[in-house]
Chain A
Amino acid sequence: METKELIWSIITLSEKELRRFLRIWVQTLVPPAVTTSLYFVIFGSLIGPRIGAMDGFDYIQFMIPGLIMLAVITAAYSNVVSSFYGVKFQRAIEELLISPMPNWAILFGYVVGGVARGVMIGVIVFLVSLIFYPNFEIANYGLTILVLFLTSIMFSLMGFINAVYADSFDDIAVIPTFVLTPLIYLGGVFYSINILPDIWRNISLANPMLYVVNTFREGMLGSSDVSIPLALGMMFGFIILFTAICLYLLNKGIGIRQ
């Protein structure tokens, strides 16, 4: 394909992905806003004042970056896994396989969809959080935006891998339910690992979600439990690794071609 054609094909796939989740906005954009509002009401306004300060911040203020990350990770992952598995299930994947689009461009289009939804959800949840904590000020805009995008890319790629291997709708629910959600909840969304006993603190350091959540918290609040250069390095490393895996799977046709 010529460069112009290639660019146009990527725009087309990205548009298709955006159109997909915007068409079903009640399912894709509204639920995180509702769930997060409940978190803010229950844990922020009702229970939060009894918990007191966490790492020197009001509890509701401390929770905001974690809850945004929770929503962003879930949105980016589930967007790609459900969309790509959906085209496999409906055989619409053939539209792409028959076309001259290179595999990296197909992956790029799906990641754009995941990132768009992840970022959009991040902004929505932040706007909701302002209702409950209007005086919130972002400490480092650059780092916040960088982590928002890196996280969305990383989990979009993970969702893609999940979708490639998935043979049923059960397969696309297993990882988010039994792996991602527990790791995120135990990754410092609701607490600082400094309040944990040493043994649990050290175990928590092996949880990759901890680095994602804390780097974002560093961007939004200027406070983190982990080394930021290490966390950013890990995120870039995972993105490179997951991209390589996705391209390998696409080139081999695993889970896609017979």
Chain B
Amino acid sequence: MSEYALEITGLKKVYDNNVEALKGIDLKITKGDFFALLGPNGAGKSSTIGIISSITNKTDGNIKIFGVDIDQNFPKAKSFLGVVAQEINFSQFEKVEDIVITQAGFYGIPKDIAKERCKNLLKKLSLWDKRHDQARNLSGGQKRRLMIAKALVHEPKLLILDEPTAGVDIELRREMWDFLSDINKKGTTIILTTHYLEEAEQHCNNIAIIDEGSIVEDTSMKELLSRLSIQSFVLDLEQEIQDLPNLSIFDLKSQDPKTLIATLTKDDDLNTLFNKLSEHGIKVKSMRNEQNRLEELFIRLVKEKDGN
């Protein structure tokens, strides 16, 4: 069996209106990975996911899921796959429980087993109390969690999450990530697309960035972040300062009397910064990145591709 959960080779998609959504992309995702597939709107993410999950027809190229070519044995390949689509894709008039059990049935899972799995999933995703409600009565966040339950009920080995946390409040988002991290640790390969880049940075090991139908970056998260040559930190001070200290080697700006913005290059040392600030009687209460690091890189990579 292949060492890859997903292998994409030369994938092309040209829509009927002649829009070339994918220009022959290659991508390999190893088993057990938590992988981020990022890109601006209209870059080709949804087309890629649509083709993998057979919602969209491909124009050319090959896709293997756990070594099974979708052109040769699509049913087998599909049995490995669970997809949480970007838009709600269940009947709004059915009961929550029925939606999950029916989805299991489409994979040939008998009702007694499906019921048990449905119970576990709905409990883990805090939807058990809603099991008898019609889906249309759920909130936006509950609907997204129902989509996750539906995608996991046949216990897929590869889970694709297309914007899973859109519209989900912070607390539930955290619970959702804990749950997803847990199933990833247990062996499920996860591919994530999201506009919340801090989530991708926090959870994903590897990353690909797609833009205008081509992969512009395909590397590990660590490697990508290490390319960040400049980082800006927001320093919250214990006491107000009147004048900005001159630290010569650091670029410091004052946001307000109690907040400084320090820009450090890759070679700069945070300890030296703190020591220098102490020498001037300035104590730092807390510190955070001014902008998400991945976001900075993402914008830069996409701009480079556009030639800006």
A residues neighboring B (CB under 8 Å): 1-2, 4-9, 11-13, 15-16, 19, 23, 86-87, 90-102, 253, 257-258
Report the bound CA distance from A11 to B114 in whole Å: 14
Q: Do the beta carbons of A91 and B57 come within 8 Å of each other?
A: no
With A91-B85, A92-B91 in contact, is A99–B57 under 8 Å at CB? no
Closest to A12 in B: B105
Q: Do the beta carbons of B57 and A1 come within 8 Å of each other?
A: no
Residue from A1, A16, A98 in contact with B102 in the complex, judged by beta carbons closer than 8 Å: A16
Q: Do the beta carbons of B57 and A258 come within 8 Å of each other?
A: yes
A-facing mask of B75-89, CB < 8 A → 1, else 0? 110110101010111
Report the bound CA distance from A101 to B74 in whole Å: 10
Residue from B81, B94, B105, B108 in contact with A98 in the complex, judged by beta carbons closer than 8 Å: B81
12 residue pairs A–B, Cβ–Cβ below 8 Å: A9-B105, A12-B105, A87-B91, A94-B83, A95-B89, A95-B90, A97-B54, A100-B75, A100-B78, A100-B107, A101-B106, A257-B56
**Looking at chain A's contact residues, is the secondary structure mostly helix, strand, loop, or mixed?**
helix
Q: Do the beta carbons of B108 and A257 come within 8 Å of each other?
A: no
User: How far does the Cβ of B93 sit from chain A's closest Cβ, in whole Å?
Assistant: 7
Residue from A90, A94, A102, A258 in contact with B15 in the complex, judged by beta carbons closer than 8 Å: A258
**Category for how many chain B residues contact A:** 20 to 34
By a CB distance below 8 angstroms, the chain B residues around A93 are 89
User: How far does the Cβ of B139 sit from chain A's closest Cβ, in whole Å?
Assistant: 18
Report the bound CA distance from A15 to B79 in whole Å: 21
B143 is an interface residue with CB less than 8 A from chain A: no
Closest to A83 in B: B91
Residue from B15, B50, B108 in contact with A9 in the complex, judged by beta carbons closer than 8 Å: B108
Report the bound CA distance from A92 to B87 in whole Å: 10
Q: Do the beta carbons of B106 and A94 come within 8 Å of each other?
A: no
By a CB distance below 8 angstroms, the chain B residues around A92 are 89-91
With A12-B102, A253-B57 in contact, is A5–B107 under 8 Å at CB? yes
Report the bound CA distance from A16 to B83 in whole Å: 21
Q: Do the beta carbons of A98 and B54 come within 8 Å of each other?
A: yes
Q: Do the beta carbons of B107 and A95 come within 8 Å of each other?
A: no
Closest to A256 in B: B55
B142 is an interface residue with CB less than 8 A from chain A: no
User: How far does the Cβ of A169 sit from chain B's closest Cβ, in whole Å?
Assistant: 16
User: How far does the Cβ of B108 sit from chain A's closest Cβ, in whole Å?
Assistant: 2
User: How far does the Cβ of B223 sit from chain A's closest Cβ, in whole Å?
Assistant: 33
B201 is an interface residue with CB less than 8 A from chain A: no
Q: Do the beta carbons of B108 and A2 come within 8 Å of each other?
A: yes
Q: Do the beta carbons of B57 and A257 come within 8 Å of each other?
A: yes
Report the bound CA distance from A97 to B108 in whole Å: 14
User: How far does the Cβ of A250 sit from chain B's closest Cβ, in whole Å?
Assistant: 12
By a CB distance below 8 angstroms, the chain B residues around A15 are 102, 105
Q: A100-B108, A258-B50 are in contact. List 18 more A-B contacts (CB 8 A).
A: A2-B108, A9-B105, A90-B91, A91-B89, A94-B85, A95-B90, A95-B106, A95-B150, A97-B54, A98-B81, A99-B103, A99-B106, A100-B74, A100-B107, A257-B54, A257-B56, A258-B15, A258-B57
Q: What 4 pairs between A and B have smallest CB-CB spacing? A: A5-B108, A12-B105, A100-B75, A99-B106
By a CB distance below 8 angstroms, the chain B residues around A12 are 102, 105-106
By a CB distance below 8 angstroms, the chain B residues around A1 are 75, 79, 108
Interface positions, chain B 1-32, Cβ under 8 Å from A, are 15
